[in-house]
Amino acid sequence: MKLFLVLLLVASALYGAKVVEVSKEYQKSQNCKACHLQIVKDWEESWHAKSHYDKDEYFSKSIEYVARKTRKSPNSVKVQCATCHNPRIAVTDTGLDYEIQVLMGLDEDSKVNKAIESSAINEGINCVVCHNIDKIHHDRDDSFRGMNRVSWTKSGLMVGPFDDTTSPYHKTEYRDFMDKKADELCFVCHANDRSVNDLVFTNMQNEYKQQDKACVDCHMGRKILGVASILRAEDGHAKKREVRQHSFEGAHAEDMWKNALNLDVWQEKDEIYIALKNPQPHNIPSGFGSRELIIDIAYMKLEKIIDTKSISLTRHYTRRKGKPTIPHLAEEMSEDMSIPADETKVIKVKNIAEATGIEVKVYYRLVNDEVRSILELKEAIWAKKNLINSKSIVLQ
């Protein structure tokens, strides 16, 4: 049996699709700072910069949990997740041969381990992920995401939103997905989130309704006059351009949630109506499937709280025999409780006879209680309630 395993290892030399190697001088964002100082500073504070497995507790705990429940090696799961989290990884697949190596203790110097441990990818989604994409393959099936939906430029060729740039450090070319069609670039990864059982639990591309907002208008900010590069042009000054921030603010940023939903509250006889209108171009909540809206209701009498009620709008996921699980392992999921773009969800609750007033507060939370407990998340950010909106009314 052992001889068979060894022969299988020798015969199986391929580790997924061929990748385009990134030259050492372009692997680290620090090397881009000399010309693109402010852009790199923005990126350093972003969650793109934290997309590597050792920089995000939710991500790292999810890897451990998936590996344990599917009986795969943690590194195999890391490679699978790298499709979007570390798309410049040097190995794109593992397979049975690698699992055998792990079982036999022969994986230490394997291509997989070297790729996972490489310092070249520990920045996650950095400059050479987005700015080295040559083409987005829209003709591929929706199940192709991240690295499987794009082809790369040669190392040293950067693409961007301008067609008149030059640099002594790298070649530069224009791509429309860096400018007029930027949503296409976002949806390379932010679409078709699937569980290992092929259950699509979030699809932001399908949710998205084109309004007067593109993804970048909210998550990179409106264009402002500035400089993309501090390199001096022929007149001795850096070229002024319309640029965007590279902070990629999203669900983790508290400021993003202020007034993200419109709130209205009214009374009809002995019932209270709470209306949540979503003016955003995608569902709220969206992103990873375990996110949550919380509606806290306080019944008041003479400015004192006499009763409270809390309503959770979230989704729950199950595996075999209906056991609760995380979205990435789900076989089934509960009803979608999110609010679609441009739509309103109305919730009705009973009034309390002695109440003279009511206060409603709507919060957002990154991870619901169930998934936070399953993954044993400790960092405060996952349990924090971010206030979206609030309203008080006098009752009749």
Confidence of residue 375 (pLDDT cuts 50, 70, 90): very high
Residue 4 in this model has a pLDDT that exceeds 60: no
Chain segment 267-311, per-residue pLDDT in tens? 999 999 999 999 999 999 998 889 999 999 999 998 899 999 999
Cα torsion 3, 8, 11, 12 to 10°: value is -150
Whole-number pLDDT of residue 166: 87
Q: How large a percentage of the chain has pLDDT more than 70?
A: 95
CB under 8 Å to 326, separation ≥6 — which residues? 62, 65, 66, 290, 317, 371, 374, 375
Q: What is the pLDDT of residue 10?
A: 39
Percent of the chain beyond pLDDT 90? 86
Average pLDDT over residues 319-335: 95
Give SS3 for 28. coil
Question: Is the predicted pLDDT of residue 9 greater than 50, yes or no?
Answer: no
Q: How confident is the model at residue 19 (pLDDT cuts 50, 70, 90)?
A: confident
Q: What is the DSSP secondary-structure string of 254-283?
A: GGGGTTSSEEEEEEETTEEEEEEE--SSS-
**β-strand partners of 171:** 157
| Burial of 352 from C-beta contacts in 10 A (0-12 / 13-18 / 19+) | middle
* Per-chain mean pLDDT for the chain: 92
Within its chain, how far is the Cα of 350 from the centroid?
A: 37
Q: What is the pLDDT of residue 303?
A: 87
- Could you give all domains of the chain from N- to C-terminal order, each with its CATH number? 2-243 (no CATH), 254-394 (2.60.40.10)
pLDDT band at 133 (very low <50, low <70, confident <90, very high): very high
* 172 sits in which H/E element: strand 171-174
pLDDT at 233 over 90: no
Q: 151 near 137, Cβ under 8 Å?
A: yes
pLDDT(12) > 50: no
Phi then psi dihedrals of residue 267, to 5 deg:
-110, 140
Q: How far apart are CA 84 and CA 185, in angstroms?
A: 12
Q: What is the pTM of this model?
A: 0.91
Average pLDDT estimate for 78-90:
95
First to last CA, the chain: 80
Segment 195-221, tens digit of pLDDT: 999 999 999 999 998 777 899 999 999
pLDDT digits (tens, 9 = 90+) for 40-51: 999 999 999 999
- How far does CA 260 lie from the centroid of its chain? 18
Distance, CA of 283 to CA of 205 (rounded, Å): 10
pLDDT value for 18:
56
pLDDT in the model for residue 273: 98
The SS3 call for residue 5 is helix
Report the pLDDT averaged over residues 339-344. Answer: 96
pLDDT of residue 143: 86
pLDDT in tens, 155-191: 999 999 999 988 999 999 999 999 999 999 999 999 9
* Confidence at residue 288, expressed as pLDDT on a 0 to 100 scale: 82
pLDDT of residue 6: 41
